[in-house]
Protein backbone atom coordinates (compact mmCIF):
# COMPACT_ATOMS: atom_id res chain seq x y z
CA UNK A 1 0.00 0.00 0.00
CA UNK A 2 1.35 3.39 -0.97
CA UNK A 3 0.12 6.93 -1.20
CA UNK A 4 -1.03 8.12 -4.61
CA UNK A 5 1.62 10.19 -6.38
CA UNK A 6 -0.88 12.59 -7.93
CA UNK A 7 -2.33 15.32 -5.70
CA UNK A 8 -5.56 14.44 -3.88
CA UNK A 9 -8.41 16.79 -4.70
CA UNK A 10 -10.75 17.69 -1.84
CA UNK A 11 -13.78 19.95 -2.21
CA UNK A 12 -15.24 22.40 0.28
CA UNK A 13 -17.89 25.10 0.58
CA UNK A 14 -17.14 28.60 1.91
CA UNK A 15 -18.19 28.01 5.52
CA UNK A 16 -16.28 28.13 8.81
CA UNK A 17 -16.85 24.40 9.31
CA UNK A 18 -14.43 23.63 6.46
CA UNK A 19 -11.75 24.53 9.06
CA UNK A 20 -10.20 21.06 9.45
CA UNK A 21 -9.46 21.00 5.69
CA UNK A 22 -8.19 24.58 5.56
CA UNK A 23 -6.03 24.09 8.66
CA UNK A 24 -4.64 20.74 7.48
CA UNK A 25 -3.51 22.54 4.32
CA UNK A 26 -2.30 25.85 5.79
CA UNK A 27 -0.66 24.47 8.95
CA UNK A 28 0.98 21.57 7.12
CA UNK A 29 -0.87 18.58 8.61
CA UNK A 30 -1.45 17.10 5.14
CA UNK A 31 2.25 17.53 4.40
CA UNK A 32 3.27 15.85 7.66
CA UNK A 33 1.29 12.80 6.54
CA UNK A 34 3.10 12.79 3.21
CA UNK A 35 0.00 13.98 1.38
CA UNK A 36 -0.13 16.37 -1.54
CA UNK A 37 -3.62 17.91 -1.41
CA UNK A 38 -5.37 20.41 -3.67
CA UNK A 39 -8.39 22.07 -2.10
CA UNK A 40 -11.14 23.09 -4.45
CA UNK A 41 -13.80 25.59 -3.40
CA UNK A 42 -17.09 24.46 -4.91
CA UNK A 43 -20.12 26.57 -5.71
CA UNK A 44 -22.81 24.18 -4.48
CA UNK A 45 -23.46 21.05 -2.43
CA UNK A 46 -24.83 19.48 -5.61
CA UNK A 47 -21.40 19.99 -7.24
CA UNK A 48 -19.64 18.49 -4.24
CA UNK A 49 -21.95 15.48 -4.26
CA UNK A 50 -21.63 14.87 -8.01
CA UNK A 51 -17.88 15.40 -8.15
CA UNK A 52 -17.27 12.97 -5.29
CA UNK A 53 -19.71 10.47 -6.84
CA UNK A 54 -18.05 10.75 -10.25
CA UNK A 55 -14.48 10.77 -8.90
CA UNK A 56 -13.74 14.33 -10.06
CA UNK A 57 -12.97 14.89 -6.35
CA UNK A 58 -11.34 12.34 -4.04
CA UNK A 59 -13.27 13.55 -1.02
CA UNK A 60 -15.05 16.56 0.41
CA UNK A 61 -16.52 18.66 3.19
CA UNK A 62 -20.14 17.57 3.20
CA UNK A 63 -23.47 18.10 4.95
CA UNK A 64 -23.94 15.27 7.47
CA UNK A 65 -27.19 13.98 5.92
CA UNK A 66 -25.85 14.15 2.34
CA UNK A 67 -23.86 10.87 2.19
CA UNK A 68 -26.92 9.11 3.63
CA UNK A 69 -29.24 10.74 1.08
CA UNK A 70 -26.81 9.97 -1.77
CA UNK A 71 -26.69 6.29 -0.80
CA UNK A 72 -30.48 6.12 -0.73
CA UNK A 73 -30.67 7.78 -4.16
CA UNK A 74 -32.58 10.74 -2.73
CA UNK A 75 -30.12 13.36 -3.95
CA UNK A 76 -28.58 13.02 -7.39
CA UNK A 77 -27.55 9.65 -8.76
CA UNK A 78 -27.28 6.90 -6.12
CA UNK A 79 -23.71 6.78 -4.85
CA UNK A 80 -22.15 4.70 -2.06
CA UNK A 81 -20.71 7.55 0.00
CA UNK A 82 -19.34 7.18 3.48
CA UNK A 83 -18.60 9.55 6.35
CA UNK A 84 -15.50 8.32 8.21
CA UNK A 85 -15.18 11.52 10.24
CA UNK A 86 -17.27 14.39 11.52
CA UNK A 87 -15.86 17.89 10.90
CA UNK A 88 -17.74 19.87 13.53
CA UNK A 89 -20.60 20.15 16.00
CA UNK A 90 -22.87 23.24 16.11
CA UNK A 91 -21.88 26.45 14.33
CA UNK A 92 -25.16 27.30 12.62
CA UNK A 93 -28.01 29.51 13.84
CA UNK A 94 -31.49 30.66 12.91
CA UNK A 95 -31.60 34.31 11.91
CA UNK A 96 -34.66 36.43 11.12
CA UNK A 97 -34.88 39.83 9.46
CA UNK A 98 -34.80 42.81 11.81
CA UNK A 99 -38.41 43.58 10.77
CA UNK A 100 -39.58 40.08 11.66
CA UNK A 101 -37.64 40.19 14.95
CA UNK A 102 -39.44 43.44 15.81
CA UNK A 103 -42.81 41.89 14.97
CA UNK A 104 -41.94 38.87 17.13
CA UNK A 105 -41.01 41.14 20.06
CA UNK A 106 -44.32 43.00 19.72
CA UNK A 107 -46.31 39.78 19.49
CA UNK A 108 -44.72 37.95 22.42
CA UNK A 109 -42.06 39.91 24.34
CA UNK A 110 -41.86 37.23 27.03
CA UNK A 111 -40.98 34.46 24.55
CA UNK A 112 -38.39 36.72 22.93
CA UNK A 113 -36.68 37.38 26.26
CA UNK A 114 -36.26 33.71 27.08
CA UNK A 115 -33.00 31.86 26.25
CA UNK A 116 -33.01 29.59 24.41
CA UNK A 117 -35.83 31.11 22.45
CA UNK A 118 -38.72 28.98 21.27
CA UNK A 119 -40.66 29.80 18.08
CA UNK A 120 -43.69 30.87 20.12
CA UNK A 121 -43.32 34.52 19.11
CA UNK A 122 -42.98 33.46 15.48
CA UNK A 123 -46.16 31.39 15.79
CA UNK A 124 -48.01 34.51 17.05
CA UNK A 125 -46.73 36.58 14.14
CA UNK A 126 -47.78 33.89 11.66
CA UNK A 127 -51.29 33.79 13.20
CA UNK A 128 -51.57 37.60 13.04
CA UNK A 129 -50.42 37.66 9.43
CA UNK A 130 -52.87 34.95 8.46
CA UNK A 131 -55.71 36.93 10.02
CA UNK A 132 -54.59 40.09 8.21
CA UNK A 133 -54.33 38.20 4.91
CA UNK A 134 -50.60 38.95 4.65
CA UNK A 135 -48.27 36.84 2.52
CA UNK A 136 -46.67 33.71 3.92
CA UNK A 137 -43.24 34.17 5.51
CA UNK A 138 -40.31 32.68 3.60
CA UNK A 139 -37.36 30.97 5.26
CA UNK A 140 -34.23 29.67 3.59
CA UNK A 141 -31.98 26.71 4.28
CA UNK A 142 -28.89 25.62 2.35
CA UNK A 143 -30.00 22.24 1.08
CA UNK A 144 -32.95 19.86 1.58
CA UNK A 145 -30.64 17.27 3.17
CA UNK A 146 -28.97 19.46 5.77
CA UNK A 147 -29.02 19.75 9.55
CA UNK A 148 -30.16 23.34 8.93
CA UNK A 149 -33.37 22.19 7.28
CA UNK A 150 -34.08 19.80 10.16
CA UNK A 151 -33.17 22.31 12.89
CA UNK A 152 -35.40 25.00 11.42
CA UNK A 153 -38.34 22.62 10.97
CA UNK A 154 -37.93 21.06 14.43
CA UNK A 155 -37.69 24.47 16.10
CA UNK A 156 -40.79 25.80 14.32
CA UNK A 157 -42.85 22.64 14.84
CA UNK A 158 -42.12 22.66 18.58
CA UNK A 159 -44.16 25.88 18.77
CA UNK A 160 -47.00 24.50 16.65
CA UNK A 161 -45.84 25.91 13.30
CA UNK A 162 -46.14 23.42 10.44
CA UNK A 163 -43.08 24.14 8.26
CA UNK A 164 -44.79 22.63 5.20
CA UNK A 165 -48.02 24.62 5.54
CA UNK A 166 -47.47 27.74 7.62
CA UNK A 167 -44.28 29.06 6.02
CA UNK A 168 -42.45 28.65 2.75
CA UNK A 169 -39.01 27.02 2.98
CA UNK A 170 -36.68 27.62 0.08
CA UNK A 171 -33.02 26.85 -0.69
CA UNK A 172 -30.45 29.65 -0.94
CA UNK A 173 -26.66 29.19 -1.15
CA UNK A 174 -24.89 30.09 2.15
CA UNK A 175 -22.97 33.10 0.87
CA UNK A 176 -26.16 34.64 -0.61
CA UNK A 177 -28.26 34.45 2.58
CA UNK A 178 -27.27 37.88 3.86
CA UNK A 179 -28.02 39.62 0.54
CA UNK A 180 -31.43 37.95 0.25
CA UNK A 181 -32.48 38.88 3.77
CA UNK A 182 -31.30 42.43 3.08
CA UNK A 183 -33.42 42.62 -0.08
CA UNK A 184 -36.45 41.29 1.77
CA UNK A 185 -36.77 38.19 -0.44
CA UNK A 186 -36.56 36.00 2.64
CA UNK A 187 -37.67 36.63 6.22
CA UNK A 188 -35.26 34.27 7.93
CA UNK A 189 -32.75 31.49 7.42
CA UNK A 190 -30.78 28.73 9.02
CA UNK A 191 -27.16 28.55 7.86
CA UNK A 192 -23.67 27.84 9.17
CA UNK A 193 -21.02 30.31 10.33
CA UNK A 194 -20.09 33.00 9.55
CA UNK A 195 -23.23 34.07 7.71
CA UNK A 196 -25.50 34.64 10.73
CA UNK A 197 -22.88 36.91 12.31
CA UNK A 198 -22.59 38.69 8.96
CA UNK A 199 -26.35 39.40 8.79
CA UNK A 200 -26.25 40.83 12.32
CA UNK A 201 -23.18 42.95 11.53
CA UNK A 202 -24.88 44.25 8.36
CA UNK A 203 -27.88 45.32 10.44
CA UNK A 204 -30.30 43.20 8.41
CA UNK A 205 -30.82 40.28 10.75
CA UNK A 206 -31.09 39.10 14.34
CA UNK A 207 -30.08 35.67 15.56
CA UNK A 208 -32.97 34.00 17.39
CA UNK A 209 -31.29 30.75 18.39
CA UNK A 210 -27.82 29.20 18.02
CA UNK A 211 -27.42 25.58 17.01
CA UNK A 212 -25.61 25.19 20.35
CA UNK A 213 -28.83 26.25 22.11
CA UNK A 214 -31.04 24.07 19.91
CA UNK A 215 -29.00 20.94 20.75
CA UNK A 216 -25.87 21.64 22.78
CA UNK A 217 -23.74 19.18 20.77
CA UNK A 218 -25.61 18.84 17.49
CA UNK A 219 -23.98 17.21 14.44
CA UNK A 220 -23.26 19.28 11.34
CA UNK A 221 -20.65 18.61 8.58
CA UNK A 222 -18.67 15.46 7.82
CA UNK A 223 -15.75 14.48 5.66
CA UNK A 224 -16.95 12.16 2.92
CA UNK A 225 -15.49 9.86 0.25
CA UNK A 226 -17.03 7.02 -1.72
CA UNK A 227 -16.84 3.46 -0.50
CA UNK A 228 -15.02 2.57 -3.73
CA UNK A 229 -12.38 5.23 -3.18
CA UNK A 230 -11.89 4.12 0.44
CA UNK A 231 -11.35 0.54 -0.76
CA UNK A 232 -8.88 1.58 -3.48
CA UNK A 233 -6.93 4.03 -1.30
CA UNK A 234 -7.02 2.69 2.26
CA UNK A 235 -3.69 4.22 3.19
CA UNK A 236 -4.47 7.61 1.67
CA UNK A 237 -7.77 7.64 3.58
CA UNK A 238 -6.05 6.86 6.88
CA UNK A 239 -3.45 9.57 6.21
CA UNK A 240 -6.20 12.06 5.37
CA UNK A 241 -8.10 11.21 8.54
CA UNK A 242 -4.95 11.55 10.64
CA UNK A 243 -4.23 14.97 9.13
CA UNK A 244 -7.83 16.12 9.57
CA UNK A 245 -8.03 14.90 13.18
CA UNK A 246 -4.85 16.82 14.05
CA UNK A 247 -6.12 19.88 12.19
CA UNK A 248 -9.47 19.72 14.02
CA UNK A 249 -7.63 19.50 17.35
CA UNK A 250 -5.51 22.50 16.36
CA UNK A 251 -8.63 24.46 15.33
CA UNK A 252 -10.26 23.78 18.69
CA UNK A 253 -7.43 25.18 20.83
CA UNK A 254 -8.72 28.48 22.24
CA UNK A 255 -5.27 30.01 21.66
CA UNK A 256 -5.48 29.18 17.94
CA UNK A 257 -8.95 30.55 17.24
CA UNK A 258 -7.75 34.05 16.29
CA UNK A 259 -5.27 32.61 13.80
CA UNK A 260 -7.99 30.26 12.56
CA UNK A 261 -10.18 33.30 11.87
CA UNK A 262 -7.44 34.83 9.73
CA UNK A 263 -6.95 31.57 7.80
CA UNK A 264 -10.68 31.13 7.14
CA UNK A 265 -11.35 34.78 6.28
CA UNK A 266 -8.91 34.54 3.36
CA UNK A 267 -10.42 34.72 -0.11
CA UNK A 268 -9.29 31.16 -0.79
CA UNK A 269 -11.68 29.91 1.90
CA UNK A 270 -14.69 31.75 3.34
CA UNK A 271 -13.80 35.10 1.80
CA UNK A 272 -15.50 37.25 4.46
CA UNK A 273 -14.33 40.06 6.78
CA UNK A 274 -12.03 38.67 9.47
CA UNK A 275 -14.02 40.36 12.29
CA UNK A 276 -17.17 38.56 11.14
CA UNK A 277 -15.43 35.19 10.91
CA UNK A 278 -13.83 35.72 14.34
CA UNK A 279 -17.20 36.45 15.97
CA UNK A 280 -18.30 32.83 15.55
CA UNK A 281 -14.93 31.38 16.63
CA UNK A 282 -14.01 33.43 19.69
CA UNK A 283 -17.15 33.24 21.82
CA UNK A 284 -20.57 33.52 20.17
CA UNK A 285 -21.75 36.19 17.73
CA UNK A 286 -24.11 38.91 19.02
CA UNK A 287 -27.81 38.03 18.77
CA UNK A 288 -28.41 41.55 17.50
CA UNK A 289 -26.66 44.91 17.40
CA UNK A 290 -28.11 45.57 20.87
CA UNK A 291 -27.50 42.20 22.46
CA UNK A 292 -24.03 40.64 22.77
CA UNK A 293 -23.64 36.90 22.27
CA UNK A 294 -23.54 34.36 25.05
CA UNK A 295 -20.09 33.86 26.52
CA UNK A 296 -19.55 30.37 25.14
CA UNK A 297 -16.71 28.68 23.36
CA UNK A 298 -19.05 25.92 22.22
CA UNK A 299 -20.66 28.01 19.46
CA UNK A 300 -18.72 25.85 17.04
CA UNK A 301 -16.83 22.72 18.11
CA UNK A 302 -14.24 20.98 15.94
CA UNK A 303 -12.70 18.29 18.10
CA UNK A 304 -13.34 18.26 21.85
CA UNK A 305 -16.18 16.16 23.31
CA UNK A 306 -15.42 13.46 20.69
CA UNK A 307 -16.66 15.91 18.04
CA UNK A 308 -14.61 14.36 15.22
CA UNK A 309 -16.14 10.94 15.80
CA UNK A 310 -18.81 9.95 13.24
CA UNK A 311 -21.52 8.82 15.65
CA UNK A 312 -23.98 6.40 14.04
CA UNK A 313 -26.59 7.89 16.35
CA UNK A 314 -26.12 11.21 14.52
CA UNK A 315 -26.85 9.46 11.22
CA UNK A 316 -29.93 7.85 12.79
CA UNK A 317 -31.12 11.26 14.03
CA UNK A 318 -30.83 12.68 10.50
CA UNK A 319 -32.81 9.69 9.21
CA UNK A 320 -35.55 10.22 11.82
CA UNK A 321 -35.95 13.77 10.54
CA UNK A 322 -36.01 12.57 6.92
CA UNK A 323 -38.79 10.21 7.96
CA UNK A 324 -40.57 12.88 9.96
CA UNK A 325 -40.71 15.27 7.02
CA UNK A 326 -41.48 12.72 4.33
CA UNK A 327 -38.06 12.67 2.60
CA UNK A 328 -38.00 8.90 3.16
CA UNK A 329 -40.81 6.42 3.66
CA UNK A 330 -41.29 3.91 6.48
CA UNK A 331 -39.76 1.19 4.29
CA UNK A 332 -36.20 2.53 4.73
CA UNK A 333 -34.12 0.42 7.14
CA UNK A 334 -32.80 3.26 9.27
CA UNK A 335 -30.25 1.26 11.25
CA UNK A 336 -28.79 -0.26 8.07
CA UNK A 337 -28.69 3.09 6.26
CA UNK A 338 -26.85 4.70 9.19
CA UNK A 339 -24.44 1.80 9.53
CA UNK A 340 -23.53 1.85 5.84
CA UNK A 341 -22.96 5.62 5.65
CA UNK A 342 -21.26 6.46 8.95
CA UNK A 343 -18.00 4.58 9.48
CA UNK A 344 -16.66 4.91 13.04
CA UNK A 345 -14.39 1.88 12.38
CA UNK A 346 -12.31 3.93 9.93
CA UNK A 347 -12.10 6.82 12.38
CA UNK A 348 -11.00 4.55 15.22
CA UNK A 349 -8.12 3.16 13.17
CA UNK A 350 -6.82 6.66 12.41
CA UNK A 351 -7.28 7.85 16.01
CA UNK A 352 -5.50 4.77 17.37
CA UNK A 353 -2.47 5.36 15.16
CA UNK A 354 -2.27 8.92 16.57
CA UNK A 355 -2.75 7.75 20.16
CA UNK A 356 -5.96 9.81 20.24
CA UNK A 357 -8.79 8.50 22.40
CA UNK A 358 -11.87 7.35 20.49
CA UNK A 359 -15.25 6.04 21.61
CA UNK A 360 -15.60 2.25 21.46
CA UNK A 361 -19.39 2.52 21.10
CA UNK A 362 -21.07 3.69 17.89
CA UNK A 363 -24.10 5.36 19.42
CA UNK A 364 -24.99 7.53 22.35
CA UNK A 365 -28.29 8.68 23.80
CA UNK A 366 -28.87 12.43 23.40
CA UNK A 367 -30.70 14.75 25.76
CA UNK A 368 -29.42 12.89 28.78
CA UNK A 369 -26.70 15.03 30.35
CA UNK A 370 -27.42 18.41 31.89
CA UNK A 371 -23.77 19.03 32.80
CA UNK A 372 -20.26 17.93 31.79
CA UNK A 373 -19.71 14.17 31.91
CA UNK A 374 -17.11 11.58 31.03
CA UNK A 375 -17.41 9.00 28.28
CA UNK A 376 -15.83 5.89 29.74
CA UNK A 377 -16.77 3.69 26.79
CA UNK A 378 -13.68 4.90 24.96
CA UNK A 379 -10.08 3.81 24.39
CA UNK A 380 -9.37 6.25 27.21
CA UNK A 381 -11.97 8.44 28.97
CA UNK A 382 -13.18 11.47 27.00
CA UNK A 383 -14.51 14.68 28.58
CA UNK A 384 -17.98 15.35 27.21
CA UNK A 385 -20.38 18.31 27.28
CA UNK A 386 -24.09 18.56 28.11
CA UNK A 387 -26.18 17.16 25.25
CA UNK A 388 -29.59 18.76 25.73
CA UNK A 389 -32.22 19.68 23.16
CA UNK A 390 -33.94 23.02 23.80
CA UNK A 391 -37.27 21.20 24.25
CA UNK A 392 -35.75 18.73 26.77
CA UNK A 393 -36.53 15.71 24.57
CA UNK A 394 -34.47 12.57 24.68
CA UNK A 395 -33.25 10.76 21.57
CA UNK A 396 -32.36 7.07 21.58
CA UNK A 397 -31.09 5.72 18.26
CA UNK A 398 -32.39 2.29 19.19
CA UNK A 399 -35.98 3.37 18.49
CA UNK A 400 -35.92 5.69 15.49
CA UNK A 401 -39.49 5.09 14.29
CA UNK A 402 -40.99 5.72 17.68
CA UNK A 403 -38.95 8.93 18.00
CA UNK A 404 -39.91 10.16 14.50
CA UNK A 405 -43.58 9.52 15.23
CA UNK A 406 -43.50 11.16 18.65
CA UNK A 407 -43.72 14.75 17.41
CA UNK A 408 -47.08 16.53 17.23
CA UNK A 409 -46.23 17.92 13.82
CA UNK A 410 -44.70 15.63 11.22
CA UNK A 411 -45.61 13.51 8.23
CA UNK A 412 -44.96 10.14 9.85
CA UNK A 413 -47.13 8.11 12.24
CA UNK A 414 -46.40 4.61 13.50
CA UNK A 415 -49.05 2.03 12.60
Choose between 69 and 243: whose C-beta lies nearer to other proteins: 69
Q: Minimum distance between the CB of residue 212 and other proteins, rounded to whole angstroms?
A: 25
Interface residue list for other proteins (CB under 8 A): 43-47, 50-51, 54-56, 75-77, 142-144, 164, 170-173, 175-176, 185, 327
Task: Give the list of residues 6+ apart from residue 239 with CB closer than 8 angstroms, or none.
Answer: 3, 33, 34, 35
Q: Minimum distance between the CB of residue 77 and other proteins, rounded to whole angstroms?
A: 5
Q: Minimum distance between the CB of residue 41 and other proteins, rounded to whole angstroms?
A: 10
Choose between 76 and 357: whose C-beta lies nearer to other proteins: 76
Q: Minimum distance between the CB of residue 308 and other proteins, rounded to whole angstroms?
A: 26
- Given a contact cutoff of 8 angstroms between Cβ atoms, the answer to whether 16 and 280 are in contact is yes
Choose between 104 and 126: whose C-beta lies nearer to other proteins: 126
* Closest alpha carbon to 312 in 294, 288, 279, 336: 336
How far is Cα 86 from Cα 107, in angstroms, rounded to an integer?
A: 39
SS3 84: strand
Task: Give the list of residues 6+ apart from residue 379 with CB closer than 8 angstroms, or none.
Answer: 348, 351, 352, 357, 358, 360
Q: Minimum distance between the CB of residue 221 and other proteins, rounded to whole angstroms?
A: 15
Q: Output the 3-class SS for 246-298.
A: HHHHHHHCHHHHHHHHHHHHCCCCCCCCHHHHHHCCCCCCCCCCCCCCCCCCC
Q: Minimum distance between the CB of residue 104 and other proteins, rounded to whole angstroms?
A: 26
How far is Cα 78 from Cα 74, in angstroms, rounded to an integer?
A: 7
* Closest alpha carbon to 95 in 65, 134, 139: 139
Choose between 141 and 244: whose C-beta lies nearer to other proteins: 141
Q: Phi-psi bin for 55: left (phi > 0), alpha (psi -120 to 50), beta?
A: left
Q: Minimum distance between the CB of residue 56 and other proteins, rounded to whole angstroms?
A: 6
Q: Minimum distance between the CB of residue 410 and other proteins, rounded to whole angstroms?
A: 15
Choose between 170 and 370: whose C-beta lies nearer to other proteins: 170
Choose between 63 and 382: whose C-beta lies nearer to other proteins: 63
> Is the sign of the CA dihedral 367, 249, 241, 65 positive or negative?
positive
Choose between 171 and 335: whose C-beta lies nearer to other proteins: 171
- Helix then strand then coil, in percent of the chain rounded to 5, is 40, 15, 40
Choose between 7 and 109: whose C-beta lies nearer to other proteins: 7
Amino acid sequence: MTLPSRPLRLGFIALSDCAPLAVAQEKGFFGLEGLNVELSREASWANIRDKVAMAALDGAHMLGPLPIAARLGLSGEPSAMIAPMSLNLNGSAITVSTALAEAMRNADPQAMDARPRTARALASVIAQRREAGAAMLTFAVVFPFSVHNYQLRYWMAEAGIDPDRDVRITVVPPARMTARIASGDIDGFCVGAPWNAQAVADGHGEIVIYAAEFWSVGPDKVFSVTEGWAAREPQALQSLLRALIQAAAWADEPGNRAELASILAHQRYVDAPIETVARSLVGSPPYSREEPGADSRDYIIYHRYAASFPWRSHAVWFLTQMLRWGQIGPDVDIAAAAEAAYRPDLYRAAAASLGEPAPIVDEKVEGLHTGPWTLDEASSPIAMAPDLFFDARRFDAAQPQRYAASFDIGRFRED
